[in-house]
Amino acid sequence: MSELLNKAFTLLSLLKPREGKKEWGAAELSRLAGFNTATTHRILQDLQQYGFVSQNQENKKFFLGSFLIELGFLAQSLYSIRDVARPFMEEVQHKTGESVYLNILVNSTEALLIDSVDSDHQLRVYEPIGLRLPLHIAATRRAILAFMEPSVQKEYLDNCKIESRTSKTINSKEALVAELNLIQERGYAVSFGETTLGTAGVAVPIFGPRGVEGSLGIATPEVRLNDERITEYAKMLKLQAEKIKASIGGAK
C-alpha cells in the first residue's frame, strides 16, 4: 500500500466515533497518528473533497463524512439482503419463467439493481447489475418510494426532477403522487415500458430493520403481462418478500 493511502486510512480509522466523541481537530489527529500537522490537514482536505470526511464549520473539527456512512449502509444491505434473497428469487423465477430483480435503496433518491435471476424465455427482459435510477421510474423503484417514511418521501417529491426515461415514464408530480397512493393501497407496483419500451414489471417492497430497504420485482415483455398474471405475480412476490423480511429482521 502506498504511503499516502496508508496515512489516509490511518486518519479515517482515528475518526471512528468512540467514547461519546465523534469530532477531532487536525492537530489532535496529527498527534494521535504521528504525522506532521500540515500533512494531516492536507489529507483531511482531500478526504473532505470526496465526502469521506466532513468538517464542523463552527469549531473546525473533523468527523466521518456522509459518503462513508452511505457506503456502510450499502455494504450492509448488499450482504444481508442479497445473500438472503437469492433462493427466494430463484423460486419466483422457477415458477414464472420470468426475470427476477432485486433492488436496494442507496440514498433517499435512487435505487440500485444488485442481483437478478434471468428468464428462461428467448424473448426476455435484461437490465444490467449496477443499474441505478431515480425512485419514481418504474415498478421496482416506486415500490420503494411508496413505502418510505412520509417526511423522506415528501422531500423527494418536493425536490426531484420528474424526468422521463421513455415516453411511458410518469412525467408529473400529480400523477406520481396518485400512483404512490395506489401502490400503498394494494401493496405492489406495476409499470409498462418506463425503463425500456416493450417491457413491464411488477414489484413489492422489502422491509428491513430501518424500514423499506429495497424491492423484489418480476420483469417481463409487455405482451406476456395481463391482469391475471399481475395478480398472480404480486401475490407470489409479497410472499417471498415476507420471507426475506423475516430473515433480515425487518419490521412493518
Q: Give yes or no for a contact between 124 and 104, defined as CB atoms under 8 angstroms apart.
A: no
Q: What is the mean pLDDT of residues 134-141?
A: 96
Sorting pLDDT into bands at 50, 70 and 90, what band is 15?
Answer: confident
Q: What is the mean pLDDT of residues 194-198?
A: 92
9-18, 185-194, 223-232: which has the minimum mean pLDDT? 9-18
Sorting pLDDT into bands at 50, 70 and 90, what band is 225?
Answer: very high
Sorting pLDDT into bands at 50, 70 and 90, what band is 248?
Answer: confident
Angle, CA 105 vertex, CA 80 and CA 94 arms, to 5°: 60
- Decide if pLDDT at 252 tops 70: no
Residue with cell string 418521501: 153
DSSP for the chain, please give it. --HHHHHHHHHHHHTS-BTTB--B-HHHHHHHHT--HHHHHHHHHHHHHTTSEEE-TTT--EEE-HHHHHHHHHHHHHHHHHHHHHHHHHHHHHHH-SEEEEEEE-SSSEEEEEEEE--SSSS-----TT-EEETTSSHHHHHHHTTS-HHHHHHHHHH-----SSTTS---HHHHHHHHHHHHHHS-EEEESSSSTTEEEEEEEEEETTEEEEEEEEEEEGGG--HHHHHHHHHHHHHHHHHHHHHHT---
**pLDDT, tens only, 68-104:** 767 766 666 666 788 899 999 999 999 999 999 999 9
- Say what the pTM is: 0.70
- Determine the longest span between alpha carbons in the chain, in angstroms: 69
**pLDDT, tens only, 54-77:** 999 889 999 888 777 677 666 666
Whole-number average pLDDT of the chain: 90
Give the model's pLDDT for residue 86: 95
